[in-house]
Each structure stands twice: as structure tokens, then as C-alpha cells.
Structure 1
Amino acid sequence: MSTVIRSIDMLAPALAAGLTYPAYLGLGPRRPVHEREQATHDAARRESIIVAGRRVVVYEWGAGERTVLVVHGWRGRAAQFAAVVRELRSEGYRVIGFDAPASGDSPGRRTHVGEFRAVIDALARREGGFHAIVTHSAGTLAVAAAVADAGITSRIVAIAPILRVGYLSEQFARMAGLGGSAMRLQEAWFAGRLRRRGYVLDGRYDLLGGALSPGLSVTIVHDRGDQMADIAESRRLAKQNPAQVALIETEGSGHSRVLESDAALDAVLEVVRREIPPTARVPRATRAQRVGRTRDAGARADLSPAR
């Protein structure tokens, strides 16, 4: 199919862009819960919340005083962090995750990283910030934007991260057989669609385009053979920000299994255990603030982000 689109693109980029635009918007099949993740997935306390009109399933494990948020990537789900959750629970941390709209067990057909970010914002308001955030792939974009605006944590572990929102369009164009003109048309159409809904995917969704938030520490775990996220961009971010970014490279774990690698689990534990100056700490919600939240799967809360 990409060969046909490539031929069309050479003659009529706008037609090629229009023909592939539905796929550009789509997510594809939902990722199932794998057998090795099932027990952790089933052990979670669950609730449903409403964020910007979308129903989102939220998961919670453990009961520690320090809370870690996990944020999945495109076509992902919270269960992918099963190994991370088990390690953090054993260390006494409380872990929160969610299935973004149209992902995992959350309903819908389409989503975008702006909606990921809206969920993060809503949970951060409820929790009063996070001890740390562990993110995967394109989830890193939403985390970066939320942290840049609200300073909801001072420590991030980014596993196989995508660091520029434009990278998603570039990757789709390569797979679909589109040239630069068609890609830019799709980006413009999509940006207009999001603006009408109150979202702007601006420079806050680009970690390579500017300075990181002061006091923010980022640990990256990235496999050299990752076919979905370019490790060269992680190397570039680490080179640009040597005082704030540490890069750990792995071999043989790929884009998704790296979440279960010893390197990733060790990095998460090192980061959450690390002491930071009191001035850099994010205030946590008190237990009284958290008490009384409904846990059952049918509960709904209006946590729509302020516009």
C-alpha cells in the first residue's frame, strides 16, 4: 500500500495526504493485557473518571505515602508497567496509572497527546503532584508538557521516549509512503482540528526544542535497537542537558520489552530512592485530601481540566 501512496504522492501530495488521513487519526487495534501482566492488572483498585468529556479508567496499586504516576504511550495501556508496579509496591510506593481515551479499557476510537496531558493534569490536581513519573514512548510528550506548565514532579524516568510531537508525523509519513508536503498538510489539518477543541500541541511538547524546567531530573532508558523511537534523539537530549539528563542504553529489549528490563527497573528504583533538596520537592496531597475517593469501576468524577 505504501508503494501506491508513494506514487500518488509524487503527482498529487494533497490527494495522498487525504487518502491516508483517516489512518493518521486512528489508533489501530487495542493492546491486550498480556499473560505476564494479568495478575498485576487484576490486583489494581479501579475507578472511572471524566476528563474533558472523556471517560478514563484509572488504576491504583499500593498505599505508600509517596505516589508514582505511570504514563503509557501510543496504543498502550497501564498494564504494560506491571513489572515497574511490582517493584515500586515492594518498596512501599503507591502507584497510579491510567488507560488514555481510546486505549486499554477506556472507551473511544481516537485520542491525541493533548488528551493524555489533560488526564495527567487532572490527576496531578487531585494528588497534589507526584514523587516521580515513569513514562513510555509518546507518553513522554504529555508528561513533558504537564511538567513544564505545572511542575508536578521533579523527577522523570522516560523509557523508550519520543521527545518531539513532530516525530509522530514523521514516523507515520515514512510508514505510509508520504513526502514532506503531504506530511505538513496532515499536520496542519490535525492542528486545526485540535484548536477547535481547545488543544494546542506547541513547543511544550518538544523536549529537544528548548530548556528543561529548572530542577527537573530526567533519566532515560533506551534500547539501541528500538525501531519505534530513535535513540539518537535521546542521545541528543542528554548531550544538550548533561546536568539534568542521564541516558542508560540497553541492547536487545526493543521498544516495549524494555519496560521489563533490569536496566529500566533499576533506573526507576534509583530515581525514586534519590534524595532531593527540600526546595525542589513537589507537595503531596495529604491523606485527608485523598480520603473518600470512590474506588469502584462505575464511579465517575468530573475532573475536566481548566481551559
Structure 2
Amino acid sequence: MGLSTRFTRMFGVQHPIVLAPMGGSAGGALAAAVSRGGGLGLLGSGDGDPAWLDRELPVLAGCGRPWGVGLLTWAIDVNAVHRVLEHGARTVMLSFGDPAPFAGAVKAAGARLITQVTDLDEAKRALDAGADVLVAQGTEAGGHGAGKGRSTLPFVPVVVDLAGDVPVLAAGGIADGRGVAAVLALGAAGALLGTRFQATAEALVDPVITAAILAGRGDDTERSRRLDVARGSAWPDRYTARTLGHPYLASGSTDRGQYQRDVASGVIPPLPVWAGEGVDLIGGLAAAEDLVGELVAGALAALDRAGRHQ
């Protein structure tokens, strides 16, 4: 059972399901499980920290299936790209910033370049830089994204039309097989999922985070920069983050000192609960390898129902 698309054929994977390279939680075990399940596992390396790579990549590199590493473009220099390539990455995903300064290193190594985009200007720059795949991220996505971006449903087909022969993955609010089917119908060659894979046995998240995601609802999520300011995070101003409700969102406070004291005393969790609008659709904790197949089975069933209703 599989869904063959331009993406699956390009990467030699069975299913058009990709793990979002979520910093801190998409570690080697989670990425490896997604790859073993027939999707593409991407390690969430963030700024390419050498200690993180040394710890997590050996777990992933031994999975025997295609895999890759995701980096935050605004937070790295070209040395970070070289590090992941030296560790054997044959796919590099760049997000949130201009990929052009790093694309040459990826291409010179013969690796595939995936670039996440949040608007059409970013999509054009990514294509000019030679991206092999675009990820069209809608504002429903959990974690960071464009503060003034577009919703997944109208954004994906516009990027598909712009990209031509370059495959497009859809991201944002996709948490079950019906969402995968929907974006395939929009012309995407696959789906990149983050929040759904947070609620898996392999994700590197505190049980408190997992419990919050399982109890969360899309109506509870909010996109804001307030928590980044309060945490003293260096994220660029243009990128806000969608999280579940948080006391500092309710109060409007951005007092960094008080935030640190509240974390230290346990009044608030160490990290915000990054979650997309599809969080309602997460029915329980899953094994990531099995989840890939479940998503595809759900997509095939949804596509079959749609065909029979025409």
C-alpha cells in the first residue's frame, strides 16, 4: 500500500509523509521511526549544534532508509550545513530565511534541498536558489511561521502552480489522513506534519507537553510573538509562533526576568506547547512508524470516498 507521487519517486520513499524537523523534539529516534515507516524522517537540528548532531544522528543514520536534517536558515552559518553533510545527510531542509547562501553547499555535496516557504516571495527565492522541493506552510501550522502568512488551503495550490515541475509538500493543520488527501487533491506531492508527530512515543518531549497536546483543541491555539519576547528568543520579528494557551499570552506580559523565575519555580512549563490548529484530530499517543501507515490508509480511504461521491 502506498501513494506514489513526484516526491516519493524523487526520494525513494514509499509514502508522501514527511516529519517536520521540529527543533528539540524531532530527534534521531523519531526521525528514524518515520523513515522506517516509509516516510521521510527529518532531524530537527535547528542551529546545527554539534553536540546535538553527535548525539542524535547516529540513531538516525543506522535506520537503513532515506533521511535528512532540518536547519533554521536565520540561525546558521554555512559550517552548520557542512556538518550535517559530513554526518551523511543526503537531504537538507532549510526554513525561515534566505536559502541562497547555503544552497551551493547542499548541491555541491549531491544532496537534495528542501526549502520551507511561507509566502510567494519566499517561494520564488527558493526556486531561484535551486530548491528540489518546496514546503508550503500555512498559518495553521504549530510552532513558528509567518505572522502575516496565508492559510494552507488557498496557499498550497498557488505555490504548486508557481513551482511547476518542482514538487511541493503542504504543511499546516494536517493531522490525519483526510488532511493528507486534501493537500494531494490541491496538487501537493506530499504532506509535512509536526504536531501529530509530537504525540508519539519517540518524540523528545516532556510528558506534560504530550498530555497538553492530547487534551488540546484548535480553538485553544494562538499565534503570537509574545512568548518569544518573554523567553528572550532570537527568532526574527516576522515569524510568530502558534502555541496552546499560556499564562503569558493571557496576561500580555513579556517580562523576561519574571518568565525565568516562573519557569524555575514550576509556575509555567519550560517551553511553550507548540501546536497547530489540527491538534483536535490527535486521538492518542502513537508509535511513529505505525502512524505513517495509518496516515496513508486514511488518505486512501478519504480519496476513495471522494471518488465515489462524484
TM-score, normalised to structure 2, is 0.31
TM-score for the superposition, normalised by structure 1: 0.31
**Higher RCO structure, 1 or 2 (CA under 8 Å, sep 6+):** 1
